């Protein structure tokens, strides 16, 4: 895997519990870069579209109501294998089943109130970024910062060893 962009949403429970800084800190300490970010309260139509693959499932209505219940933080995260790294960092969906050291494993106890959404594939990442950041300008990490996170061969543009 190379450098990727992925979509992350901090859900209303993360915002209400004052965990935005804690979660963003974990993402940045891992070495991932936040290349776009904003906070907003999503419309029902947007949330239904975002979770459309779950329409008809017993939890769909509750999920939509929950995500519409307060502000969320929307982010585009980038880095080497960002999609899989971010999914591992988030942890399993249910906080009681998520491994210690993950966001959900350390900070959540619920299946519904699980703090964070992270794209699960390159296709969903592309679709979700387009949905929430269609006209956004993305900011890339400086080469100096990347120097201390990735081996030269892993950095954007590749290259040899430094």
Other residues' Cβ atoms within 10 Å of the Cβ of residue 55:
11
C-alpha to C-alpha distance for 67 and 81, rounded to whole angstroms:
27
117 is catalytic: yes
Q: Is the dihedral of CA 87, 113, 70, 60 positive or negative?
A: positive
Question: In residues, how long is the chain?
Answer: 162
Helix segments in the chain, DSSP class H: 12-16, 20-30, 44-50, 60-68, 82-90, 103-107, 122-133, 143-147
Exactly one of 32, 117, 128, 132 is catalytic; name it.
117
SS3 5: strand
Write out the catalytic residue numbers. 117
């Amino acid at each position: 895997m190379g450098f990727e962009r992925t979509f992350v949403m901090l859900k209303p429970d993360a915002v209400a519990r004052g965990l935005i800084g804690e979660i963003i800190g974990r993402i940045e300490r891992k070495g991932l870069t936040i290349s776009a970010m904003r906070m907003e309260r999503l419309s029902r139509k947007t949330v239904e579209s975002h979770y459309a693959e779950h329409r008809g499932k017993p939890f769909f209505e509750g999920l939509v109501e929950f995500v519409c219940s307060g502000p969320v933080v929307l982010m585009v995260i980038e880095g080497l294998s960002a999609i899989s790294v971010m999914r591992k960092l988030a942890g399993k969906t249910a906080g009681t089943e998520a491994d210690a050291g993950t966001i959900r494993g350390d900070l959540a106890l619920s299946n519904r109130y699980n703090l964070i959404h992270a794209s699960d594939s390159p296709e969903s990442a592309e679709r979700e970024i387009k949905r929430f950041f269609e006209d956004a300008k993305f900011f890339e990490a400086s080469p100096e910062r990347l120097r201390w996170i990735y081996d030269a061969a892993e950095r954007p543009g590749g290259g040899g060893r430094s």
